[in-house]
């Protein structure tokens, strides 16, 4: 789902839930409590409703900031990361990404050890990599060949 669509759905959800919460609050204060001989002044009902609306707006604005952000953890965060091969990739081998060693698959031809590569995609827990000099010239055919070799 696109971030803009997520934000619109989040805003709609917050508006609907705030209206329902306000209706419940006012119903309790003006209808239910008087049945138990508890009288709330009208000015206090207005203050409580405004305070609840302000709280709802605050939580909406805090939530809106994180709705469109990309994930901070997980395999998706590795895309675009530069790393170095520790073994030759023909097409499968190992790369060092940060302090971690990953089993990776080369999208293009074989890659020697100690070559800088960039992660272009992650399939399951296997990064698909390209040599740093070859990132702009990779074609879809080579990607699909590497995938077939990795899956097979």
Q: What is the pLDDT of residue 69?
A: 76
pLDDT along the chain (152 residues), means of 10: 75 94 95 94 95 94 81 81 94 92 91 94 92 60 50 55
C-alpha 143/C-alpha 105 separation (Å) is 10
The string of DSSP letters for 67-118 reads HTSPPSSSGGGGTT-EEEESS-BSSEEEEEETTEEEEEEESSS-B-TT-EEE
CATH of 75-151, one of 3.90.1330.10, 2.30.30.110, 2.30.30.90, 2.40.50.140: 2.40.50.140
Which residues sit opposite 106 in a β-bridge?
129
Q: What is the pLDDT of residue 134?
A: 60
Q: What is the pLDDT of residue 81?
A: 92
Q: What is the pLDDT of residue 18?
A: 94
The residue extents of the domains of the chain are 3-67, 75-151
C-alpha 20/C-alpha 121 separation (Å) is 43
Angle at 64 between CA 81 and CA 78, to 5 degrees: 10
Distance in angstroms between the alpha carbons of the first and the last residue of the chain: 31
């Amino acid at each position: 789902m696109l971030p803009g669509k997520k934000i619109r759905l989040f805003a709609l959800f917050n508006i609907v839930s705030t209206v329902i919460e306000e209706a419940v609050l006012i119903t309790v204060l003006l209808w239910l409590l008087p049945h138990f001989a508890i009288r709330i002044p009208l000015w206090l009902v207005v203050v409580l409703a405004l305070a609840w609306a302000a709280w709802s707006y605050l939580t909406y604005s805090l939530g809106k900031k994180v709705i469109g952000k990309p994930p901070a953890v997980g395999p998706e965060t590795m895309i675009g990361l530069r790393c170095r091969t520790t073994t030759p990739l023909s097409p499968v081998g190992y790369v060092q990404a940060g302090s971690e060693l990953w089993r990776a698959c080369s999208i293009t031809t074989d890659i020697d050890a100690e070559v800088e590569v960039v992660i272009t995609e992650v399939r399951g827990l296997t990064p698909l990599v390209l040599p740093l000099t070859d990132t702009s010239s990779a074609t879809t055919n080579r990607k699909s060949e590497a995938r077939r070799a990795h899956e097979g």
